Amino acid sequence: MAEDYPAVAIHAYKRFIKLKPDKSLDYLDFLLRNDLLKEALSFYVDLLEMKELPFASKLKSRLELWLELSEFVAKYPSRAQSLKTPADTLIRYAIAKYPEEAGRLWIFLADYYSRLGYFGKARDVFEEALAQLTSVKDFGVIFNAYMKFEEAMLDS
C-alpha cells in the first residue's frame, strides 16, 4: 500500500492542477521533495511548453524555470534520458533564448556531458562556448569552469 503512495499522489495532484493551474509550482515542489525526479523533469518541460505560465510571474519567471530545468538535467543526466526532447537540445534552446544567462547554461551543458562520462563532448562544449560568448563576464565564468574541469581530468 505504501508503495502506491507516490502514484496516487501524482494522480491526485494532476487532477487538482486541472482545477487550480496556479498551484503548478506546489506540484513541482512536491515532486522534488519526494524524489520523483523523472516526473518533475517532465513537468518542467510541460510548463515551459505552455504559451502562458499558469501562475503569477512574480512567483517564478520562465527564465528561472529554464535555469532550474537546465541545472536539474546537469545534476541528474541519467534521469533526463526519459524526456521526449533530448536534454542537450533543451539546454541549447535555453542558451539561444536567454543569451544574458549563456555562461551558466553552457556550464550546465558541459556538466551534463561530463556526468554522463562524455568528457570529450564536455570539452567540446567549453570550446564552443568560449568561441561564441560576447561578454567578458561569461568568458570569465566559462573559462574558470573549463579550467576546473581540466584540473579534475588531470587529477583522475
Contact 107, 142 (CB under 8 A): yes
Name which of 10, 86, 93, 109 is nearest 48 in CA terms: 93
Q: Which three cell numbers stand for residue 142?
A: 566559462
Domains of the chain: 1-60 (no CATH), 79-156 (1.25.40)
Q: Virtual CA dihedral for 57, 36, 82, 44, nearest 10 degrees?
A: 0
Buried b (16+ CB within 10 A) or exposed e, 45-84: bebbeeeebebeeeebebeebbbbbbbbbbebbebbeebe
pLDDT digits (tens, 9 = 90+) for 30-42: 998 888 888 899 8
For residues 117-126, give the mean pLDDT: 96
pLDDT digits (tens, 9 = 90+) for 8-67: 889 999 999 999 988 999 999 999 888 888 889 989 998 998 888 888 767 888 999 999
Contact 65, 48 (CB under 8 A): yes
What pTM does this model have?
A: 0.85
Start-end of H helices in 102-135 = 102-116, 119-132
